[in-house]
């Protein structure tokens, strides 16, 4: 009898929690920065009721970072449902997105690297009276996904990663890998290292990590285009992930949301007390230390790629939405502002952690929201 009474009380307690949760969601109303709930399903319903469409209409063309494609897809689904605006985000890669933006082909672009000075200059031709600016919107770890039969919980450090992607370590049972994984059963298998074939901000951030963490082993200058010799290539994050999934002995770099069945992720020995696995939490720990280095309305960030802080994953990226601060096209400005306002809102940012991305730190995203309101 006591056990039955205890179970009945527990059920009543859980029911009360469920009701209070439902009431909390209902109370979100039209508050643009109202709270989501941490699950993608309930976040979507909360978002749909809190999005401010203003005068948004028609359709938007956008292109750029494939690393943020899964985040953009989730946002577009909610925004289009609420506002009826069609958004076509191609996800062709950061290089293609910036080019499309500076040629006036898209309303905004996504890039995992901030605009270079020459790209800002080019943007002035399409931003009448203004220029392109960087708005940090999506954070996340760059995972090293691998497909090595029998090798679970693989640990690598910066020098070893550099040598793998520079074709200087070519077998999975190499002594350097064995030293980092003394209990692993590493096969005598050729390493198939995959990099991006297109210009990519993910490549830029990956190589910035190698340059910062192991300059003696990575002598290349870095940038969106892959520079090291050897290896194999594939287009966009999805393409690299697909090659890793279907190739025994493969390893490649891509955003964590592309780690799926058949792909495992490397933990990195940063010099902290224990190796750090890529996750929303470990990326947030690194991005939280980022500094705003952009001037004026530009909010480009400087990340710490060589962090040794406990629990901080060093190989992170931040994706920027690139838009004109002034001189946006009149027919796309309302929809552009409404969409950017939504994805920078508390609701929009809360979706990220449910799909393996990291929200932008509060202090920085607050500046992004203010900047969006001033777009013209």
Q: How far apart are CA 262 and CA 267, in angstroms?
A: 17
Q: 69-81: per-residue pLDDT in tens? A: 999 999 999 999 9
Which pairing describes strands 291-292 and 301-302: parallel, antiparallel, or unpaired?
Answer: antiparallel
Mean pLDDT, to the nearest integer, of 94-110?
A: 97
**Is it the case that residue 4 has pLDDT exceeding 60?**
no
Q: 197 labelled as ligand-binding?
A: no
What integer pLDDT is reported at residue 336 of this predicted model?
Answer: 98
Q: 105-142: per-residue pLDDT in tens? A: 999 999 999 999 999 999 999 999 999 999 999 999 99
Lowest mean pLDDT among 17-26, 57-66, 129-138, 182-191: 17-26
Q: How far apart are CA 264 and CA 244, in angstroms?
A: 10
**Is it the case that residue 333 has pLDDT exceeding 70?**
yes
What integer pLDDT is reported at residue 242 of this predicted model?
Answer: 97
Contact (Cβ atoms closer than 8 angstroms) between residue 150 and residue 248: no
**Is it the case that residue 265 has pLDDT exceeding 80?**
yes
Mean pLDDT, to the nearest integer, of 188-192?
A: 98
Alpha-carbon distances of 350 from 35, 101, 110, 321, 328, rounded to whole Å: 8, 27, 19, 17, 28
Mean pLDDT, to the nearest integer, of 303-331?
A: 96
Q: How far apart are CA 160 and CA 270, in angstroms?
A: 12
Q: 200 labelled as ligand-binding?
A: yes
Q: 67 labelled as ligand-binding?
A: yes
Q: What is the pTM of this model?
A: 0.81
Q: How far apart are CA 235 and CA 213, in angstroms?
A: 26
Give me the numbers of helices (H) and strands (E) for the chain, helices first please: 13, 13
Contact (Cβ atoms closer than 8 angstroms) between residue 51 and residue 83: yes
Q: 202 labelled as ligand-binding?
A: yes
What integer pLDDT is reported at residue 17 of this predicted model?
Answer: 36
What integer pLDDT is reported at residue 45 of this predicted model?
Answer: 42
What integer pLDDT is reported at residue 25 of this predicted model?
Answer: 27
> What mean pLDDT is reported for the chain?
88
What integer pLDDT is reported at residue 31 of this predicted model?
Answer: 33
Q: 49 labelled as ligand-binding?
A: no
Q: 200-256: per-residue pLDDT in tens? A: 999 999 999 999 999 999 999 999 999 999 999 999 999 999 999 999 999 999 999
What integer pLDDT is reported at residue 46 of this predicted model?
Answer: 44
Lowest mean pLDDT among 48-62, 177-191, 264-278: 48-62
Percent of the chain residues topping a pLDDT of 70: 87
**Is it the case that residue 93 has pLDDT exceeding 90?**
yes
What integer pLDDT is reported at residue 262 of this predicted model?
Answer: 84
Phi, psi of 79 (to 5 degrees): -65, -45
What integer pLDDT is reported at residue 243 of this predicted model?
Answer: 98
Lowest mean pLDDT among 18-27, 274-283, 362-371: 18-27
What integer pLDDT is reported at residue 230 of this predicted model?
Answer: 94
What integer pLDDT is reported at residue 48 of this predicted model?
Answer: 56
Q: What is the CA radius of gyration of the chain?
A: 22
Q: 40 labelled as ligand-binding?
A: no
Beta strands in 235-315 (DSSP E): 250-255, 264-265, 267-269, 291-292, 301-302
């Amino acid at each position: 009898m006591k056990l039955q009474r205890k179970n009945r009380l527990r059920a009543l307690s859980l029911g009360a929690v469920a009701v209070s949760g439902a009431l909390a969601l209902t109370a979100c109303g039209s508050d643009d920065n109202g709270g989501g709930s941490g699950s993608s399903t309930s976040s979507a319903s909360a978002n749909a009721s809190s999005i401010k469409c203003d005068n948004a209409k028609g359709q938007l063309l956008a292109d750029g970072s494939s690393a943020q494609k899964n985040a953009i897809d989730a946002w577009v689904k909610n925004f289009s449902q609420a506002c009826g605006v069609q958004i076509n985000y191609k996800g062709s890669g950061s290089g293609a997105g910036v080019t499309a933006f500076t040629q006036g082909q898209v309303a905004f672009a996504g890039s995992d690297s901030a605009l270079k000075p020459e790209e800002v200059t080019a943007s002035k031709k399409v931003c009448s009276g203004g220029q392109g600016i960087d708005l940090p919107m999506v954070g996340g770890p760059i995972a090293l996904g691998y497909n090595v039969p029998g090798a679970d919980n693989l640990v690598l450090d910066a020098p070893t990663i550099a040598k793998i992607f520079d074709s200087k370590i070519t077998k999975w049972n190499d002594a350097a890998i064995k030293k980092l994984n003394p209990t692993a059963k590493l096969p005598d298998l050729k390493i198939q290292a995959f990099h991006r074939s297109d210009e990519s901000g993910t490549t830029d951030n990956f190589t910035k990590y190698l340059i910062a963490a192991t300059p003696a082993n990575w002598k290349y200058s870095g940038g969106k285009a892959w520079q090291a010799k050897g290896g194999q290539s594939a287009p966009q994050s999805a393409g690299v992930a697909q090659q890793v999934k279907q190739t025994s002995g493969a390893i490649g770099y891509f955003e964590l949301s592309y780690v799926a069945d058949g792909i495992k992720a490397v933990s990195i020995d940063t010099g902290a007390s224990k190796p750090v696995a890529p996750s929303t939490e470990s990326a947030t720990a690194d991005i939280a230390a980022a500094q705003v280095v952009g001037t004026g309305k530009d909010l480009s960030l400087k990340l710490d790629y060589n962090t040794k802080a406990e629990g901080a994953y060093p190989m992170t990226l931040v994706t920027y939405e690139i838009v004109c601060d002034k001189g946006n096209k009149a027919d796309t400005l309302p929809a552009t502002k409404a969409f950017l306002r939504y994805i920078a809102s508390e609701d929009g940012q809360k979706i990220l952690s449910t799909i393996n991305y990291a929200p932008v730190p509060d202090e920085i995203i607050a500046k992004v929201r203010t900047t969006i309101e001033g777009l013209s």
